[in-house]
C-alpha cells in the first residue's frame, strides 16, 4: 500500500494498533456509495474515462454484493474498509481500480463515509424515538384521569395524573428528536474532494458529489472538512442526553414495580426471576437501561478527550472516533427498544396510585390556595396556617380532610365547610387547569396536541 517509500512491512504490533477493519467495515455501504459518486464525478469532469468509470462502478457493485452476502474476505493487513475495497476492486478489474483514488485521500474519504453513516443512524434513531413517544401517548391517553402522587425530593408533593407524568417524557423525547435533527442539519456538508487537507489540482466538481450523496453543500474549507468531528461529538452529546432521559424513566419503573409502590406491573417479557428467591420479578430491562446510559456518557467523554489536543488537519488519533459512536448508537437503539416495549407492556395499578396519592398531606397546597382565593390572605400567611394544620393532622395521625372544622377555625376563624371541597385528591387534580397543568381535561387535550406535534 505504501508504494516505494517503505522497504519493509510493519511490525506485528504496529499492524495490531494500526488496523481498524474490525470495526470500520460497518462503513462498507457508505464507502461504496461515496466511491461510486466520486467515480461518476471524475468521469463527468473528464478526469476518468467512461470505460474505466463503468468498470469501477460495476466492480464496486460486485464488492457490495459480496459483503452483503458474507462472501467478502476482510484482510487485516489492508488496515481499513477503504483499502480492503480498493484491493478487491483491483482483483476484479485490474489497474483501472487505482484511478478511483484520483483527487481524493483517505482523509476526505473516511470523513465522508462517517458522516453518511451518522446521518443514516440519526434517521433510524428519530424513528425509534417517534415509536417511543407513540407508546407513551397511548398510555397517557388511557390514564389521563388516573390519579397518582407527584413527587419532589421523592416525597409526595401534589397529586397529578399518570397520563400527565408520562407526557413529561413525551416532551423530553421531543427535545431529543430536535437535538438529533439539529445534528443532522449541521453535519450535512460533504468533505469529499478536500483530499488530504489542501484540496486538489484536478478539475473536479464537489457540488456534484455533494448533491449525489444527499448533502446540502460541499464543506467550505478543505482543512476543516477532513479534521472536523463536531458532528460525531454532537451526535454523542445528543445521545447522552437522550440516554439520561431513558435512565430517569427506567429508575421510575424500577421504583413503580417494587412492592413498596406497586404502581405498575411488567410481564414476563421484560422481567427476570431470581436463582434463589422464587417470588422475585426483577425489572432487569429497566435496570440495564439505567446502567447503559453511563456507557453512552462515557463514549461522549472518550471522543471529547481524543479530539481536545489535535492540531489541524488529520491525525491518526481520529481513527478512534468511530468505536465510541458505533457503540453509543447500538446501545441507544437497544435501550429505546427496551423502554418502548416496557411502556407498551406495563399494567397500571390505579388503586395503588390513588391510595398513595392520599398519603403525605398531599393536598396541603390546595388548602393554602383556598385560603388565598377565598379569604384573600397573603400566600405566606396562608402557607403558615396550612403548615400548622399539617402539624396538627400529623400529631393526630389523620389526613387534612379528617381534621374537624372547629380545629381548622381555631387556626383561622374564616375557614368554612367549603374548604373540604379542595382537600380530596380528585378535586385537587381536576382544579389544575392552567396551561400545561395536570387536570384530566388538560391531559386529554395535550395527548391530542402531542400526537399532532410529534407523530404526524
Active site residues: 153, 274
Q: Considering only CA atoms, give the Rg of the chain.
A: 30
DSSP tag of 98: G
Cell of 45: 469532469
Q: How far apart are the C-alpha atoms of 433 and 42, rounded to whole Å?
A: 64
CA 81/CA 19 separation, integer angstroms: 10
Residue with cell 382537600: 423
> In sequence order, which residues have a C-beta less than 8 Å from that of residue 93 and are 6 or more positions away?
55, 56, 58, 59
| Spatial distance between the Cα atoms of 32 and 81, rounded to a whole number of angstroms | 10
Q: Where are the alpha helices (DSSP H) in 147-229?
A: 162-187, 206-212, 222-227
Q: CA 337, CA 285: separation in Å to the nearest integer?
A: 10
213 CB-near residues (< 8 Å, 6+ apart): 33, 34, 37, 112, 116, 190, 192
Altogether, the residues listed in the chain come to a count of 456
Grid coordinates representing 340 are: 418502548
Amino acid at each position: 500500500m505504501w508504494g516505494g517509500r517503505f522497504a519493509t512491512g510493519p511490525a506485528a504490533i504496529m499492524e495490531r494498533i494500526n488496523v481498524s477493519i474490525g470495526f470500520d467495515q460497518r462503513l462498507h455501504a457508505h464507502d461504496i456509495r461515496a466511491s461510486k459518486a466520486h467515480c461518476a464525478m471524475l468521469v463527468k469532469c473528464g478526469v476518468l474515462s467512461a470505460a474505466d468509470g463503468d468498470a469501477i462502478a460495476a466492480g464496486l457493485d460486485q464488492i457490495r454484493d459480496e459483503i452483503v452476502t458474507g462472501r467478502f474476505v476482510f484482510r487485516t493487513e489492508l488496515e481499513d474498509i477503504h483499502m480492503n475495497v480498493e484491493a478487491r476492486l483491483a482483483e476484479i478489474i485490474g489497474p483501472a481500480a487505482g484511478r478511483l483514488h484520483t483527487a481524493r485521500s483517505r482523509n476526505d474519504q473516511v470523513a465522508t463515509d462517517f458522516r453518511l453513516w451518522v446521518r443514516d443512524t440519526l434517521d433510524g434513531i428519530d424513528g425509534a424515538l417517534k415509536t417511543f413517544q407513540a407508546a407513551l401517548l397511548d398510555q397517557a391517553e388511557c390514564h389521563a384521569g388516573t390519579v397518582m402522587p407527584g413527587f419532589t425530593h421523592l416525597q409526595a408533593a401534589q397529586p397529578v395524573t399518570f397520563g400527565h407524568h408520562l407526557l413529561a417524557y413525551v416532551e423530553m423525547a421531543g427535545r431529543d428528536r430536535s437535538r438529533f435533527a439539529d445534528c443532522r442539519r449541521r453535519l450535512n456538508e460533504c468533505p469529499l474532494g478536500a483530499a488530504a487537507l489542501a484540496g486538489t489540482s484536478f478539475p473536479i466538481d464537489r457540488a456534484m458529489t455533494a448533491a449525489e450523496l444527499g448533502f446540502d453543500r460541499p464543506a467550505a474549507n478543505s482543512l476543516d472538512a477532513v479534521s472536523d468531528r463536531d458532528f460525531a461529538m454532537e451526535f454523542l452529546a445528543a445521545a447522552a442526553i437522550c440516554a439520561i432521559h431513558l435512565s430517569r424513566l427506567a429508575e421510575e419503573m424500577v421504583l413503580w414495580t417494587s412492592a413498596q409502590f406497586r404502581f405498575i406491573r411488567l410481564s414476563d417479557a421484560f422481567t427476570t426471576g431470581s436463582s434463589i428467591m422464587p417470588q422475585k420479578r426483577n425489572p432487569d430491562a429497566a435496570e440495564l437501561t439505567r446502567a447503559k446510559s453511563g456507557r453512552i456518557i462515557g463514549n461522549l467523554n472518550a471522543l471529547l478527550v481524543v479530539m481536545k489536543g489535535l492540531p489541524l488537519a488529520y491525525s491518526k488519533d481520529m481513527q478512534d472516533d468511530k468505536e465510541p459512536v458505533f457503540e453509543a448508537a447500538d446501545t441507544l437503539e437497544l435501550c429505546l427498544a427496551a423502554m418502548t416495549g416496557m411502556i407498551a407492556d406495563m399494567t397500571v395499578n390505579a388503586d395503588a396510585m390513588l391510595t398513595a396519592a392520599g398519603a403525605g398531606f398531599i393536598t396541603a397546597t390546595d388548602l393554602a390556595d383556598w385560603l388565598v382565593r377565598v379569604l384573600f390572605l397573603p400566600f405566606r400567611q396562608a402557607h403558615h396556617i396550612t403548615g400548622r394544620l399539617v402539624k396538627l393532622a400529623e400529631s393526630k395521625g389523620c389526613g387534612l380532610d379528617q381534621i374537624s372544622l372547629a380545629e381548622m377555625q381555631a387556626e383561622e376563624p374564616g375557614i368554612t365547610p367549603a374548604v373540604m371541597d379542595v382537600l380530596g385528591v380528585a378535586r385537587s387534580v381536576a382544579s389544575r387547569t392552567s396551561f400545561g397543568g395536570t387536570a384530566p381535561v388538560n391531559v386529554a387535550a395535550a395527548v391530542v396536541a402531542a400526537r399532532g406535534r410529534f407523530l404526524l
